[in-house]
């Protein structure tokens, strides 16, 4: 009997795994709540394929452990593949799939809500209310419709973000290295990132973590931005030089920072430190700031998205096992 083994299945995913299992009674589906590591790879023994999601770095040792078990069909329940040693996977003959689009709205909506909360100084107001200080001033808000919003990356998520921001009445401008013809016709694009920096009150990143994009937000780019800018990163931590943003917050240049993804998040986000000392002092400092909104990479985390992630990943894995073309293969022959 064909067998699929899934790693790191959370309680909120279980109903969707069961839904898929019930619709595929001829497939043996088993899972664990543990992450895939070189040590836990053996749990998948006898399986024809594995389903995981992005939380750890999947280095050569993990990939080799699956290879030793003869498992080469690997489906991710998420978009990002930046944590996988892809050349190693390719050299060992793996077939990989991801779920590039499971709910762009989940991520875009989170970015918009957080940006709007920062503009209204909600965290400061919440803190005042908690200590029963009900005075209005000086915690005055800025309306979204008065902002020029600069969107870097107009792919799946960036486009939804643009629509939602426009629904609030913001003026939206955009930059992408590959222009979307529809958006181009509608006149959203500026020619350079410098124009985004110079004109935007809110700047939101919706680009992948590629070597060229690492630390695209740095001291130099921040210097080019408007005073009082809000920076939103719900994409990938390495896009932002966190120390540079802290310098911008300290100088008052940056009004606020939305940080759903953090360059040192691996091993911290989606873990419980509630009774332990946080090992990352910089993160503790950011969390304590009234104008920084930290969320632990949860922009994606909605019921809608999670169902799609599970169902699409299992569908993909079964197609790989059957030797069929999966809906969303990762092209390992491409240079990453």
Write down the least CB distance from residue 309 to ligand COI, Å: 7
Q: Which residue in the set 7, 20, 31, 53 belongs to the binding site for ligand COI (CB under 6 A)?
A: 53
Residue 54 sits in the site that holds ligand COI (CB under 6 A): yes
Binding mask of the shown chain, residues 183 to 222, with x at each position contacting ligand NAD by CB under 6 A: -----------------------xxxx---x---------
Spot the catalytic one: 265, 282, 289, 335. Answer: 265
From the number of C-beta atoms within 10 Å of its C-beta (0-12, 13-18, 19+), residue 172 rates as buried
- At 189 the three-state DSSP class reads strand
Spot the catalytic one: 13, 236, 263, 307. Answer: 236
Between CA 233 and CA 240 the distance in angstroms is 8
CB count within 10 Å of CB 99 equals 23
Candidate segments 20-28, 73-81, 248-256, 288-296, binder of ligand COI by CB under 6 A:
73-81
Q: Which of residues 285-304 bind ligand COI (CB under 6 A)?
A: 297, 300
Residue 80 sits in the site that holds ligand COI (CB under 6 A): yes
Euclidean distance between the first and the last CA atom of the chain, given in angstroms as a whole number: 35
Check if 297 is active-site.
yes
Q: Which residue in the set 96, 112, 234, 318 belongs to the binding site for ligand NAD (CB under 6 A)?
A: 234
Check if 236 is active-site.
yes
User: How distant is the alpha carbon of residue 310 from its chain centre?
Assistant: 16
Residue 262 sits in the site that holds ligand COI (CB under 6 A): no
Q: What share of the chain is helix, strand, coil (3-state, %, to 5)?
A: 40, 15, 45
Write down the least CB distance from residue 98 to ligand COI, Å: 8
Q: Decide: 72 and 66 in contact? Cβ < 8 Å.
A: yes
Between CA 223 and CA 236 the distance in angstroms is 21
Q: Which of residues 146-165 bind ligand NAD (CB under 6 A)?
A: 152-158
Residue 78 sits in the site that holds ligand COI (CB under 6 A): yes
Give the tokens for residue 303.
């019921």
> Which residues participate in catalysis according to the annotation?
236, 265, 297
């Amino acid at each position: 009997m064909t067998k699929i083994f899934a790693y790191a299945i959370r309680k909120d995913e279980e109903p969707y795994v069961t839904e898929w299992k019930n619709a595929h009674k001829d497939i043996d589906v088993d899972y664990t709540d543990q992450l895939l590591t070189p040590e836990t790879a053996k749990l998948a023994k006898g399986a024809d394929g594995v389903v995981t999601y992005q939380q750890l770095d999947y280095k050569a040792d993990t990939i080799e452990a699956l290879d030793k078990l003869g498992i080469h069909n690997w489906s991710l329940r998420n978009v990002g593949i930046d944590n996988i040693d892809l050349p190693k996977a390719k050299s060992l003959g793996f077939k990989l799939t991801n779920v590039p689009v499971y709910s762009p709205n989940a991520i875009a909506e989170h970015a918009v809500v957080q940006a709007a909360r920062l503009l209204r100084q909600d965290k400061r107001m919440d803190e005042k209310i908690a200590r029963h200080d009900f005075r209005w001033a000086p915690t005055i808000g800025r309306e979204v419709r008065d902002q020029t919003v600069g969107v870097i990356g107009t792919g799946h998520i960036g486009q939804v973000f643009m629509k939602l921001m426009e629904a609030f009445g913001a003026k939206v401008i955009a930059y992408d290295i590959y222009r979307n013809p529809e958006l181009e016709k509608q006149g959203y694009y500026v020619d350079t990132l410098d124009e985004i920096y110079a004109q935007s009150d809110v700047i939101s990143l919706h680009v992948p973590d590629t070597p060229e994009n690492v630390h695209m937000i740095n001291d130099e780019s921040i210097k080019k931005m408007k005073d009082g800018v809000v920076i939103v990163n719900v994409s990938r931590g390495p896009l932002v030089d966190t120390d540079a943003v802290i310098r911008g917050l300290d100088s008052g240049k940056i009004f606020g920072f939305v940080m759903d993804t953090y360059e040192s998040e691996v091993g911290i986000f989606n873990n419980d430190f509630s009774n332990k000392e946080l090992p990352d002092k910089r993160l503790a400092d950011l969390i304590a700031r009234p104008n920084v909104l930290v969320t632990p990479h949860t922009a994606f985390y909605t019921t809608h998205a999670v169902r799609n992630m599970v169902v699409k990943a299992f569908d993909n894995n079964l197609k790989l096992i059957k030797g069929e073309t999966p809906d969303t293969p990762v092209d390992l022959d491409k240079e990453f």
